[in-house]
Amino acid sequence: MNTAVRYYSRSGNTKAVAEAIAKAAGTAAVVVNSADAPINGPVDVLFIGGALYAYGIDSHLKDYLKTLSKNDVKKAVVFSTSWLSKHAIDLIRKGLEAQGIPVADETFYVKNMPNESQLKDAAAFAKKFL
């Protein structure tokens, strides 16, 4: 199975979740504004995450979602961190659905910086989709 992990993180909280998911999936966690971010070729599961900033998602992530194609991404799985609100999940889902990409109902969320136990939960969550 082909998997990929993409994320955007300003202060490292979402990055920590992305890395736990990537490790479980045996792939790399790639930040959306890096040279490696474009999805080349079909991916069965794309794990994609971001945080909420002033009730929105970062423009790097917003722009990245628009580059994704349903021809390359069979299914997306969303994860997020924030201080309180899970709204980033809705925004990421909306961006993916606008591209015609099916999104798993189940999502993964952590309040701020994940602790060791939450990182284990992230890995277990990822394994459900592998």
Ligand X SMILES: Cc1cc2nc3c(=O)[nH]c(=O)nc-3n(C[C@H](O)[C@H](O)[C@H](O)COP(=O)(O)O)c2cc1C
Which residues of this chain interact with ligand X, rule CB under 6 A? 9-15, 51-55, 81-85, 112
Question: For ligand X, which is the closer residue by CB, 10 or 128?
Answer: 10
Residue among 36, 43, 40 nearest 3 (CA): 43
Question: For ligand X, which is the closer residue by CB, 82 or 107?
Answer: 82
Question: For ligand X, which is the closer residue by CB, 10 or 127?
Answer: 10
Question: Nearest approach, Cβ of 111 to ligand X (angstroms)?
Answer: 8
Question: Nearest approach, Cβ of 92 to ligand X (angstroms)?
Answer: 13
Name 77's bridge partners: 47
Tell me which DSSP letter residue 50 carries: E
Question: For ligand X, which is the closer residue by CB, 15 or 93?
Answer: 15
Question: Can you list the alpha helix ranges (DSSP code H) found in the chain?
Answer: 13-25, 59-67, 87-98, 116-127
Which residues contact residue 5 at a Cβ distance below 8 angstroms, ignoring those fewer than 6 apart? 18, 21, 22, 25, 27, 28, 29, 30, 46, 47, 48
Question: Nearest approach, Cβ of 70 to ligand X (angstroms)?
Answer: 26
Question: Nearest approach, Cβ of 94 to ligand X (angstroms)?
Answer: 17
